[in-house]
Amino acid sequence: MAYTVINPADETVVTTVQRLDIEEVDAAIFGATVAQKEWARRAPLDRATLLRRFAEAVDRDLENLAQLETRNSGHPITQARGEAASVRDVLEYYSGAPERLIGQQIPVSGGMNVTFHEPMGVIGIITPWNFPMSIAAWGFAPALAAGNAVLLKPAEWTSLTSIRLGELALEAGLPEGLFQVTPGQGPVVGERFVTHPDVRKVVFTGSTEVGKRIMAGASEQVKRVTLELGGKSANIIFGDADVEAAALAAPSSVFDNAGQDCCARSRLLVQRGVFDRFMNVFEGAVQDLRVGDPLDPDTEMGPLVTLSHRDHVTSFVDDDSLVAFRGSCPSGPGAWFPPTVMTPSRDHRVVEEEVFGPVVAVLPFDDEADAIKIANDSKYGLSGSIWTQDLSRAIRVSRAVESGTLSVNSHSSVRYSAPFGGMKQSGIGRELGPDAPLQFSETKSVFYAASEN
Ligand code: NDP
C-alpha cells in the first residue's frame, strides 16, 4: 500500500511511497543476515574503501539530497545542504573505523588473553522526521563500519532522503542486502525490528512514549537498544554573561529547524538582574529571523513538518497573555507557525513538555542554585547551554546540570566527532564520537593457553 508525501511549505503532493508489509520486512531481514556474514568476513580495508565510496556518492548527490529534503520536510535549503554534507562527513569519519577496531591484550598467566570487537549482526534503525538523513547516518555509518548489516526505517512523513541514501549505497558498491531502507508504518516495520530475533540491536530516535515500548519489547530477547528520546533543554543566561551575545544567539538555539529539534533550548532561564536587557535584544533578534520559502538560500526558518504537527504545536499557546512577543511567518497554504516567546509560570505545560515547534518559555531565576534547580526539574536531560564569563561557574554548572550534551557560551550543535546522547528519559546509550562503532559490537574475550616448552 502506498502513501502520499506532502510538501509542508505549500501542501502540494511530492510523491507516493510504497509501504512494506511484515513479509517484505522479514525478507529484508533475511537478506541482511546473509549479506552481513559476507561483509564481516571482508578485509577491514575493503570495508573502509566501500564506506569511503559511499561518502563520495553522497557528495556527488549532495544538491539532489538537499532539494529532496527541502521539498519533503520544509528544511531551509541552506540547512538541508549542511545536513547532506554531514551524512558524507559521518561516513568519511567512520570509514576509518574498520581498520581501527582494536582489541586488548591482557596480561594473564598460562597463556594469552585478547579481546575482539565482534559485529552484532543485523541492526534495525528507526528514525524520526526532524533530521531524517543526519540521524540515519549517525546510526548506519558506525554500524556498517563495525561489520554489521543495517535496516533503516525512516519516519513515514520524511522517507525520501533515506530511500535515496539506500540507492546511493548500492551505486557506491555496497553489497546487495547490506544496507536496506524499509519504509512503512512504525507499528509494522519498526515493531518487527523489535520482535524479529535476527535483528540484534534497535537504534531508535523519536518520542519517549514509543521509546519506552521499544525498550520493553526488546527486553523479551535482551535485545540491545540505543534510544534518543528528545528533551526540554535549558539555555541558562547568568547576569555576568555577555548578555547581548547570548540574546542574539538565543533564536537559533530554539528556532532552528522550526524548533523541531530534540536539542532545542526550549526553556530559556535568565537571571533577574539582566532579564529586561536580555528580552529587549532577544525581541529584536526574533523579529529579524527570516521565516519563509525554504528554497530561498537566505531563509533561516521554514514551515513545520505537517499540518497535523502544527495543531500539536498550537495547543501549547493556549493563553495569549503569556505570549511576550512573536516573530513573523507567511500566511496561506503550508504548515507555518511564527517563532513564539512565552513567559509562563514554572509549572505551565509549555515548560514541562516537549513542544517540538518554535515556542520558547522564558523563566527568570534568582541565583546559581535556582538556575540549576529549574534546569534539572525535568524528566529529560539531553542538551543545554550555559552563558557566563566566570570560568569557575561554567565548570560548576556544567557538572551540575543533568544533561548528556552541553555547550558553554555557544549553542553547539551535534558534532560527529563527539559523543551525543541523553540522561534520564532523554535516552540510553551514546551515538557518534570515536567510540560509536563499539556500540555496534560485542566484546569477546579469548584466553589462549600456552604450555611451557
Ligand atoms: P514517534 O516516536 O511516533 O516516531 C518516531 C519513529 O518511530 C518513526 O519512524 C515512527 O514511524 C516510528 N514508530 C512509531 N510507532 C512505532 C512502534 N510502535 N514501533 C516502532 N517504531 C515506531 O514520534 P512522532 O513522529 O509521533 O513525534 C511525536 C513527538 O515525539 C514529537 O512531537 C516530539 O515531541 C517527539 N520526537 C522526538 C524526536 C527526537 O529527535 N528525539 C524526533 C521526533 C519526535 P511512523 O513514521 O510510521 O510513525
Predicted confidence (pLDDT) at residue 181 exceeds the cutoff of 90: yes
Active-site residue identified among 69, 83, 92, 262: 262
Residues 432, 89: Cα–Cα separation, whole Å: 12
Mean pLDDT across the chain, nearest whole number?
Answer: 97
Catalytic choice (69, 92, 228, 431): 228
Mean pLDDT of 224-250: 97
Out of 25, 126, 135, mutate this one to test ligand 1's pocket (max ligand atoms within 8 Å of CB): namely: 126
Joined grid coordinates for residue 353 = 513538555
Q: Does 262 participate in catalysis according to the annotation? A: yes
Query: What's the Cα-to-Cα distance from 414 to each of 87, 262, 326, 353, 439, rounded to whole Å?
Result: 13, 11, 27, 22, 18
Ligand 1 center to residue 399 CA distance, Å?
Answer: 30
Give the three-state DSSP class for 236.
strand
For the whole model, what pTM was predicted? 0.97
Which atom in ligand 1 lies closest to the alpha carbon of residue 135?
A: 40
Please tell me if the CB atom of residue 230 comes closer than 6 angstroms to any atom of ligand 1.
yes
Q: Is 130 in the pocket of ligand 1 (CB under 6 A)?
A: yes
Three-state DSSP state, 330: coil
Decide if 261 contacts 231 (C-beta within 8 A). no
Burial class (CB in 10 A: 0-12, 13-18, 19+), 434: middle
For residue range 398-409, what is the model confidence (pLDDT) as tens digits? Answer: 999 999 999 999
Pocket test for ligand 1, best of 207, 225, 379, 382 (most atoms within 8 A of CB): 207
Residue 128 Cβ inside 6 Å of ligand 1? The answer reads: yes
Listed residue (125, 175, 177) closest to 152, CA to CA: 125
Establish whether residue 239 lines the binding site of ligand 1, counting it when its CB lies within 6 angstroms of any ligand atom. Answer: no
Q: Which three cell numbers stand for residue 46?
A: 575493503
pLDDT at 442 exceeding the cut of 90: yes
228 included as an active-site residue: yes
pLDDT given at position 57: 99
Ligand 1: distance of its center to the CA of 187 in Å? 10
CB of 185 within 6 A of ligand 1: the answer is: yes
Report yes or no: 357 and 265 within 8 Å, Cβ to Cβ: no
Would you say 139 and 125 are in contact if contact means Cβ atoms under 8 Å apart?
Answer: yes
**Atom 42 of ligand 1 has which residue's CA nearest to it?**
206
Tens of pLDDT along 61-80? 999 999 999 999 999 999 99
User: Which atom of ligand 1 approaches the CA of 355 most closely?
Assistant: 34
Q: Which domains does the chain have, with CATH numbers?
A: 2-229+426-448 (3.40.605.10), 234-415 (3.40.309.10)
Q: pLDDT for 108-124, tens place per residue?
A: 999 999 999 999 999 99
What grid cell was written down for 14? 511530492
Residue 453 has pLDDT above 80, yes or no: no
Ligand 1 within 6 A of 208 CB? no
CA distance 364 to 333: 37
